[in-house]
Chains A and B, each alone.
Chain A
Amino acid sequence: MKKILMIEDHADIRRLIRLTLEITDYEIAEAADGSAGALLAQAIKPDLVLLDVMMPGALNGLQVCRLLKARSPSTRVLLLSARGRSEDLEAGMEAGADGYLVKPFSPLQLIECIRQQLAEVA
């Protein structure tokens, strides 16, 4: 079973994402901030990380993304952000992200994006 780690500071968004992904066969782990997420990623080695860009704390999403990609380039990273301007997208790609989903996204968009990312892994 493919493993997904979501790193997102809003508990409600985590809850909605988890609910959305209940219909899929993925194993889902979650972390509420960048540092906890980076640690958890090392422990569980997820196939895909859903990563909020703007998070309070020592590490924001882009920093976490660089860290994840430096440690394990094959881990897919899908950024989640309310900021959809082209500079934001470019900053995400520059940090090594594999995809970018602008909030608010629909459940189907999320499922489809994840499926695509993981299909490229397999």
Chain B
Amino acid sequence: MSALIDPSDMLAPPAGNSFPQAAMAQMERMVQDFSRMYRERNDALDEVTNAHHEALFRLSLAADLKDDDTGIHIVRLGYMCETLALLLGQGATQAEMLRKAAPMHDIGKIGIPDGVLKKPGAFTESERAVMNQHAQMGADILSRSRIPLFQLSAELALTHHERWDGTGYPNRLAGEAIPLSGRIVAVVDFFDALTMDRCYRKAFADEVALHMLSAQHGKAFDPRIVDIFLAHSADIIATRDRVNQNHPSYSDLVAGR
């Protein structure tokens, strides 16, 4: 039988700078066990988070497929929001969070009837009211999670239709009362939606869309974000074209490829 620790070793006073060898070996084993459990716990948490994220991402894709037959819009949105956030001076970690969270901002559209969502002409007042519910619905779906990424996407879902001038929905927030993340997504979503083909119209040219964006300076959108967007539109459009070319998958989006 091999004793892990010789009791006389434990009782012996530490010699000079050192613990008894057997006690030290025992402590090392405990630290190693701790490390293994810590790593396993973190891996398990990552796995759960990823599974949760992927499920919600797929659901967002389903919502997006209702009005874009490729589903690439929400992926572009993620990457373009990241680029714009970096240009606005946000940290890399924050911008990366936005890349992962932004594709889910319209998840609430899953609950909007096709008859409203795909209506070609103008909405009636009651149709408009139904359509506007997607912001709150998305926030309800996403905010159940305590994971920071989904908290951020819930914030985006709730605030991406607020307007800088306070006339947006659902809460008529104005100016900096709208979270920065929501203000960023609003701008990118506007631009990307204009420059893609819709069931009821062809895509606008980039220059036309940029012009329409500048017209909303300080009205629908945060003037600083519009300024930065216009000043660096080539970078943002390059990000968009890269996504269109490479068609990043869900795992690419998470890994930032």
Contacts and interface: CB of A to CB of B under 8 A. Distances in A.
Does A associate with B in a complex? yes
Interface of A: 9-12, 15-16, 19-20, 22-23, 107-108, 111, 122
Contacts of A107: 31, 34-35, 38
B32 A12 contact: no
B28 interface: yes
Nearest to B31: A19
Contacts of B27: 16
A72 B19 CA distance: 34
B32 to A, nearest CB: 7
Contact of A16 (B17, B28, B93): B28
Contacts of A10: 17-18
B198 interface: no
A12 B91 CA distance: 39
A20 B18 contact: no
Interface of B: 17-19, 24, 27-28, 31-32, 34-35, 38-39, 91, 93
A108 B91 CA distance: 27
B19 A12 contact: yes
A11 B18 contact: yes
Q: Which secondary structure dominates chain B's binding surface? A: helix
Nearest to B93: A122
A9 B93 CA distance: 37
A44 to B, nearest CB: 24
A15 B30 CA distance: 13
A107 B35 CA distance: 9
- With a 10 A CB-CB cut-off, give which of A16, A108, A111 has the most chain B CB atoms: A16
B17 A11 contact: yes
B31 A12 contact: no
Contact of A19 (B17, B19, B35, B93): B35
14 contacts: A9-B17, A10-B18, A12-B17, A12-B18, A12-B24, A16-B27, A16-B28, A16-B31, A19-B32, A20-B31, A23-B38, A23-B39, A108-B34, A122-B93
Contacts of B34: 20, 107-108
A36 to B, nearest CB: 15
B135 to A, nearest CB: 32
Contacts of A20: 31, 34-35
A117 B19 CA distance: 29
Nearest to B29: A19
Nearest to B24: A12
A9 B18 CA distance: 10
B28 A15 contact: yes
Nearest to A56: B17
Contact of A122 (B19, B32, B35, B91): B91
Contacts of A9: 17
Nearest to B35: A23
Interface centre among A10, A11, A15, A23 (most CB of B within 10 A): A23
A68 to B, nearest CB: 23
Nearest to B91: A122
By CB atoms of chain B within 10 A, which of A12, A20, A22, A107 has the most? A12
